[in-house]
Amino acid sequence: MFDEEAKEKVKKAIEDETRGAIECWGETYSSMHEGYAVLKEEVEEAEECSKIINNKLDMLWNCIKRGNGDKAFIVSEIRGYAEQMALEAIQIAAVCNKIDATGLQMG
């Protein structure tokens, strides 16, 4: 369960990311194919973060079981990749916003 204030901050981050993408690359994609390709790339980047997090989680578990290793460092790495994954998720939502605008103008 997310705090309502946190939800609003995420929505604002998505709006800001959408606005930045529009300023940089234009209001819509040139085609739905382009929108799909950009969305696919962002999803793949989020998936890569997820895979790394899972690998780090396995490393953490092995350190816990053996009673050695730098657990704090591994947790710090997981946090960093989780933050990166959150940013990727915001980009995914922003791309979806542009796809919506593209579809409306093409449909």
d(CA 56, CA 43): 20
Q: How far is CA 59 from the centre of its chain?
A: 23
Kindly report the pTM of this predicted structure: 0.90
| DSSP helix/strand/coil, 26 | coil
- Give the pLDDT score at 31: 92
For residues 10-39, b (16+ Cβ closer than 10 Å) or e, as one string?
eeebbeebbeebeeeeeebbeeeeebeebb
27 φ/ψ angles, rounded to the nearest 5 degrees: -70, -30
Q: What is the pLDDT along the chain (107 residues), one digit of tens a residue?
A: 789 999 999 999 999 999 999 999 999 999 999 999 999 999 999 999 999 999 999 999 999 999 999 999 999 999 999 999 999 999 999 999 999 988 767 65
The distance of Cα 38 from the centroid of its chain, to the nearest Å, equals 13
Give Cα 50 to chain centroid, integer Å: 10
Residue 104: predicted pLDDT: 67
